[in-house]
Amino acid sequence: MFAESADQFASMRSGGTDFSRLESASAQERADALSGYYLPVTPDAGRLLYALVRAARPATVVEFGMSLGISAIHLAAAVRDNGSGRVITTELSAAKVSAAKKTFADVGLDDLIEVLEGDALRTLKDLDGPVDFVLLDGWKELYVPVLDLLEPRLAPGTLVVADNTSMTELAPYLEYVREPANGYVSVSFPARDADSMEISCRT
């Protein structure tokens, strides 16, 4: 999957795909237009997610933005190796949901992963119980609203990991989690040459 993703990115960098038309598109339109693209975490970021979940031992992991499932596989593998827990992941693209569910079954992790299809601000509203670990990796303008939705369920010590935080669109999110009054201790972590993840601990 990482190899296929690398080929896709190489094609995009060479000008093989024009995404300019998506700049004014809705979240659903963007999700549908990109339904064949991985948009994954990096291998290093995947290993980091695995290590954090192994260490934190969360009962419930919530991922915003599943794409084709690479990060969910890392999260669920850690949950499996911990011996308990579950992963709840969200995705707008029906095509990606179908493809990822097949992949989760193929790798033997489907019993640990619940996929919520649709708008995360709706599908995450009715979660049962606390959330112990969060990965934000969906549309960037929704990081703050999704975190705001989940915050009442976050106990002290909960980790919130946000991907692609070097993007200018995520300045409001970084401002929020880096303000101590909002209840986080936050640190930037390099996830690739030109991008980073933000790891925030709920205090």
Written in H, E and C, the secondary structure of 103-148 is HHHHCCCHHHEEEEECCHHHHCCCCCCCEEEEEECCCHHHHHHHHH
pLDDT for res 190: 85
pLDDT for res 10: 61
Query: How do residues 28-41 score in pLDDT, each as one tens digit?
Result: 766 665 666 656 67
pLDDT for res 12: 61
Burial of 120 (0-12, 13-18, 19+ CB in 10 A): buried
Backbone angles phi, psi at 30, to 5 degrees: -65, -45
Query: Nearest to residue 108, comparing CAs of 79, 66, 146?
Result: 79
pLDDT for res 18: 55
Query: How do residues 95-110 score in pLDDT, each as one tens digit?
Result: 899 999 999 999 999 9
Compute the distance between CA of residue 96 and CA of residue 68 in angstroms, rounded to an integer: 5
pLDDT mean over 77-92: 96
pLDDT of residue 67 exceeding 90, the answer is no
Q: How far separated are the first and last CA of the chain, in Å rounded?
A: 36
Compute the distance between CA of residue 72 and CA of residue 167 in angstroms, rounded to an integer: 22
Query: Nearest to residue 28, comparing CAs of 199, 130, 142?
Result: 142
Q: pTM score, two decimals? A: 0.84
Q: Which of 26-30, 85-89, 171-175, 180-184 has the lowest mean pLDDT?
A: 26-30
pLDDT for res 4: 76
Compute the distance between CA of residue 143 and CA of residue 124 in angstroms, rounded to an integer: 13
Query: How do residues 184-194 score in pLDDT, each as one tens digit?
Result: 999 998 877 77
Query: How do residues 174-184 score in pLDDT, each as one tens digit?
Result: 999 999 999 99
- Go through the domains of the chain in sequence order and give each one's CATH number: 2-202 (3.40.50.150)
pLDDT of residue 143 exceeding 70, the answer is yes
Compute the distance between CA of residue 98 and CA of residue 117 in angstroms, rounded to an integer: 10
pLDDT mean over 159-182: 96
pLDDT mean over 57-78: 95
Q: Decide the pairing of beta strands 131-136 and 154-162.
A: parallel
